[in-house]
Structure 1
Amino acid sequence: MAGSTNIFTRYSIRKATFGMLSLSILLSFGGHNKLLAQSNSQKRMQQKIKSLKNQEGFSPRDTAYINLLNDYALEMRFFDTDSLLKLANEAMRLSKESGYARGLSYSHLRIGDYWSDKGNTEKAIHHYSKGLELAKVAEDKKLELRLLNNLSGEYAYKSDYSRALGGYLEALELAESLEALLLQSIINENIANLYATQKDYEEALTYFKKVKKINTNIGDEVIQAETMSNLASLYADMSELDYAIFNINQSIKVFDENQILDWLAYAYEIKGKIYLKKYNYKWALYWYQLSEILHKQLEDDRSRIDLLNGMSEAYLGLEEDSLARNYAIRAFKITEKINFVEGKQKCALTLYKVHKKAGEYPEALVYHELYQQLKDSLSRRENRQSLSLHKTKAAYERQKLELIEENEKALARQKRYIQAGWSMLLISLIISYLIYRSKKLQKRLNTELQEKKDILEVRKTELIANNETKTKLFSIIGHDLRGPIGALQGLLKMFKDGDVNKEEFLSFIPKLRADVDHIYFTLNNLLSWGQSQLNGSKTKPADVSLENIVEENINLLSEIAENKSIKIVSEVAPNTLLWSDPNHLDIIVRNLISNALKFTPENGMVTIKAVEKAAEWEISIRDTGVGIDRMTLQKIFEEKSNHSTYGTANEKGTGLGLSLCKEMVENNNGTIWVESILRKGSTFYFTMPKSTKNYSKAG
């Protein structure tokens, strides 16, 4: 909804995202266009597109790029309609070339929005309908729901209320089947607004009650404020001005606190409308002017008509006739531009009042005749459409009841068939039981023997595995821990016995530090591996930031890198979220970076990257080290291998790190591999599933 990227449009309400700019700044600068020329969300969208283009192996036919183009088109909808059309056409071209049905459907949705805002309902309906067909082919229910909602809204703009209601009811049923509360709220509110245009306020209020109940379950104050704004407009039309002012004040407070300026502009307009109905022209004009300042940032002609016409009426009430004439003419020209009949009727009435007050009776008569002609036409059409609305709704409900009745009959027939089937099955079971009973003793003995044999085989396998684990454990302890600890013990004994003096002892501190770091690192790996082998540790995946894990381990290993003058570079983008066990990911990254530092000579470089794939992230850790020969490559990840190698500065390793990495990567539904060239360096790759979070919801 407002304040975020919007994918659905409530009927007759315009949408845009201004970004987080305070109203006081806006007013103090007189509403300069540069202040809101580009929203924060638009900037973020541009950055996403730029980042994707800079990725290695980028292709403009990538579905992620096509989706970003369509999302960016939506962001530009109420700021730069030419850019909207250009972006949507480019997305359509790329979708056709790559055979991407969803992208093509999405492009038709955006182009339909363009023509809708231009007042060309025929072209808008054409694109919405084409997009709807493609969404069904792509089996994208949410996209289908967006298109149904927008298509129904376009029929409402065309005054084909019967088809609009039918489409909304179909969309509502789909939203309920998807258990999408927000979408149910939007569509119910669209239906309420549809009845409001017919002045069927009782039915409109019935649907608004449903909306408020759904909004309570959603629990979002912004969504509740949006509904209260629309409800305030309805109460104003009903002349229930106390209810109207209560609802609009509540919504303005929420929009102001959350800096949702597009809805704030609409709320100001409604508040102006309420004061106009109170004949308080001064305050009406005050709120209209606030709305006008915000509207200058929008390219939304349809929503500007009521604002300009309302300001004309306010100026007329304040005896400022020239300004009243100016605003009424501006509003009337927009209605002719987009062929908006209901808006033209209102503007004709205002222009009639303006010319009559100025004593320009011939002109006043022209506009009065136009107003009367449009009023009679709309009145006759509204009477027909009002009846059609009720008929459509009744027919729809009747079809649902008939379908339910037919389903109940079919279920009753199936129930009889099932009962007959159960009877036959029971007879078959009795016969089978008699046959089974005669062989029962023999089968039971065979089964018991086989079970005991299987148990022995399992225990044998477990015993062998435990012995191998124990052997490897003692091998690592003896090979990689006993040496550094023994050296430390020997040095301390020499210092105690006086074989080395204090200065000589202090000269060994760097080596002791390195040995202790090695022991600590080895124990961490050993404990992680031992837990997984002996206790069967469980993987506990969660949403985890790769960028944070990488930065923490770079800081942890920075001293080792500085001692060898190795530069560690992280090219991991912010908000790179993985679905993995945080502890496992930390151990994997630490081991691979440590390994890269170990085999990279002085003045080398270690680079960490993350490349987004369809359902996973591919992470790489590249070094400019000594490389790995072909024989070692073949057995580097073997589980039973605990061979350790000295690094370029004689660093020791456990030989355990890579097999531990492999085990933890695979436990997190990923894969790990290595590519290497001798004397040029190695690159270790592993994959992890993407986070299940959605970042941006666009429509």
Structure 2
Amino acid sequence: MPDFPELFQRISGAPRDFPLTVRIFHSVLAICMAALIYNIPLNIVVGLPSIALASVISFLLAFTLYYLSRYRHKTTIARLVFCITGTGLFVINYFLNSGIDGPTGYFFVLIMVVVVAVSPVSEYWYWIISNIILLIGLHIIQYVHPEWVPYTYPAKGERYIDILSAYITVVLVVLACFYIIRKNYESERIEAGQNAAKLIQLDAEKNKLFSIISHDLRSPLAHIQNYLEMLTEYELSDQERKDIKSQLLLSTRGTLDMVNNVLYWSKSQLDGREQLSETLNVAALLKQQVELFRNIAAGKQIDLESILMPEATIWGNADIVRLIVRNLLNNAIKFTAAGGRIRISATSSKGICLLIVKDSGNGSPVKLNEEIFQFNTSTATGTANETGVGLGLALCHEYTTQLGGRIWFTADPISGVTFFVELPAAGPQF
């Protein structure tokens, strides 16, 4: 059974399908139909079968207009017919239900409030003025020709019941209309605020992306260009060429890492689709990646040790897990001095997989705080002058959280950092 907000949206229509005034129109028609259903047996009880019949006809008309607007999207026609026929029916009701001695005056107030609620602002005065002129005209007609407006109540008590019931009905419908208007206004205001926040966020992400492209990618590409120019324009010894080629390879590898991170991050920001998860064997998933980084670490004379338990599993997305590990290993190699040591391990226990990447650092105490998991465009230079964009650890944090895990670190008082990534080892149990 749907809850009230869901039921309310089903009746009025979704904001993406209908503008605010149209949703109010649908809600008003639904309220009018409910009021008319209540009014039919009431008029039979007080001895006004003709009014009960008019209520039945009015209900059928309101239902038809609701169908035309809500499901056939012919709102302009339905709204015009509603305003004209609604006013016309109350004119007829004036003559059938004792004129000024009956409750029709309340109903004219009701139709004016409802019409103003559902009509465009440009039509307000037209409907208000016509409503006032009609009611004044009806009073004048009854004053000049009282025989045209017969007194229809069989007894005094029925008149009091009818007028009191009409008053209560009008008050409830008017309050319901204001409630609908207020609720839809609040929904629109909240949605507008959320859209504004999203635009601010998108603008910030765009600025981040341009900052990366203009600064952090241009710099290593300029270095690569300089190395190539030196190789082609100058006479260099074999050792100098070897050193330049080594630096060229290092810059190219670092630039590729940055491009991969930027592209993955940009895709996730623009795409927004949920990643598919599955059960992953950590050792099998990371074997090739660890071997690649072992060779990279060897180029800096760093020993990379891998202790991945065969039974360790992760419930997650393979691409995301590899991206997290790739950034952690790349970060460890970047800040570990030659002759240092890096260890990656994975264990599973009690439905949790714990990934640990520990490095021996560069021989100096490490001072880090939680801000390393936030995006920033100024980053430290590695032990071999590696440059990078402050996006890798921010991505690790974002995607670890997305997978339902957490990431943290500890810094050794002498040297080195250990990163911990805790992820679910199995999927949700049903």
In structure 2, give the amino acid aligned to 1:651: E
Identical positions, percent: 27
**Residues in 2 aligned to 1:493 and 1:602: alpha-carbon distance in whole angstroms:** 28
Q: Which residue of 1 aligns with 2:333?
A: 597
Q: Is the 8 A contact 1:610 1:617 kept in 2?
A: yes
Q: 1:550 aligns with which of 265, 286, 291?
A: 286
Q: TM-score w.r.t. structure 1 length? A: 0.35
Once residues 428 and 200 of structure 2 are traced to their aligned partners in structure 1, the CA distance between those partners, rounded to angstroms, is 43
Runs of 4+ in 1 over 3 A off after TM superposition: 429-436, 490-496, 498-507, 626-630
Q: Does 1:452 align with 2:202?
A: no
**Paired positions, count:** 265
More helix by share: 1
Question: 1:441 matched to which residue of 2?
Answer: 177
* Counterpart secondary structure, 1:617: strand
Q: Does 1:634 align with 2:370?
A: yes
The 3-state SS of whatever aligns with 1:579 is strand
User: Using the alignment, how far apart are the partners of 2:399 and 2:169 within structure 1?
Assistant: 49
Pairing 1:461–2:197 present = yes
Hey, what does 1:684 align to over in structure 2? 419
Q: Which one-letter code corresponds to 2:418 in the other structure?
A: T
Aligned to 2:66: none
Superposition deviation, residue 668 in structure 1:
0.4
- 1:551-590 pair list within 5 angstroms: 551-590=287-326
| Shift in CA distance, 492/648, structure 1 to aligned 2, threshold 3 Å | closer
Contact 2:309 2:347 in 1 (8 A): no
Q: Secondary structure at the match of 2:314?
A: strand
1:28-47 aligned at under 5 Å gives the runs none
Correspondent of 1:536 among 272, 275, 280: 272
Task: Compare the two structures and name the one with the higher strand fraction.
Answer: 2
Contact 2:342 2:357 in 1 (8 A): yes
Matched AA of 2:307: E
Give 1:546 deviation, angstroms.
Answer: 0.8
Distance 1:433 1:549 in 2: 68
Q: Tell me the alpha carbon deviations over residues 291-323 of structure 1, each in whole angstroms, 9 at most, x when there is no partner.
A: xxxxxxxxxxxxxxxxxxxxxxxxxxxxxxxxx
What is the root-mean-square deviation in Å for CA atoms of aligned residues? 2.9
C-alpha distance in 1 between matches for 2:328 and 2:38: 64
- Whether the 8 Å CA contact 2:283–2:312 is kept in 1: the answer is yes
Is structure 2 residue 396 aligned with structure 1 residue 661? yes
Q: 2: CA distance between counterparts of 1:612 and 1:435?
A: 65
Residues 146-157 of structure 1: pairs in structure 2 closer than 5 A:
none
| Counterpart code for 1:689 | P
Tell me if the contact between 1:618 and 1:688 (Cα under 8 Å) persists in the aligned partners: yes
| 1:540 counterpart SS class | coil
Question: Counterpart of 1:637 in structure 2: which amino acid?
Answer: F
Partner SS, residue 557 of structure 1: helix
Could you say what secondary structure the match of 2:183 adopts? helix
Give the structure 2 partner of residue 523 of structure 1.
259
Pick 1 or 2: higher relative contact order, CA cutoff 8 A, min separation 6: 2
Residue 470 of structure 1: which of 206, 212, 219 is its match? Answer: 206
Q: Which amino acid aligns with 1:674?
A: F
Given the superposition, is the C-alpha separation of residues 430 and 494 from structure 1 closer, same or farther in structure 2, using an over 3 Å criterion?
Answer: farther
Post-superposition Cα deviations, 1:117-170, rounded to whole Å, max 9, x if no partner, equal: xxxxxxxxxxxxxxxxxxxxxxxxxxxxxxxxxxxxxxxxxxxxxxxxxxxxxx
Q: Secondary structure at the match of 1:650?
A: coil
Q: Contact 2:353 / 2:425 at 8 angstroms: preserved in 1?
A: yes
Does the Cα contact within 8 Å between 2:352 and 2:424 map onto a contact in 1?
yes
Partner of 2:382: 647
Deviations 1:494-523 (A, max 9, x none): 666x45569666652221111111111111
Structure 2 stretches lacking a partner, 5+ long: 1-33, 40-167
For 2:402 and 2:393, the matched residues in 1 are separated by: 14
TM-score w.r.t. the length of structure 2 is 0.56
Q: Which runs of 5+ in 1 are unaligned?
A: 1-425, 695-699
SS in 2 for 1:571: strand
The verdict on how the C-alpha distance between 1:433 and 1:507 changes in structure 2, with shifts beyond 3 A counting, is farther
- Matched residues in 1 for 2:181 and 2:221: separation? 58
User: C-alpha deviations, 1:619-650, integer Å up to 9, x for none?
Assistant: 111111147644x3231112x33331111222
Asked if structure 2 preserves the Cα contact closer than 8 Å seen for 1:531 and 1:537, the reply is: no
* Residues in 1 aligned to 2:212 and 2:229: alpha-carbon distance in whole angstroms: 25
**Using the alignment, how far apart are the partners of 1:624 and 1:502 within structure 2?**
35
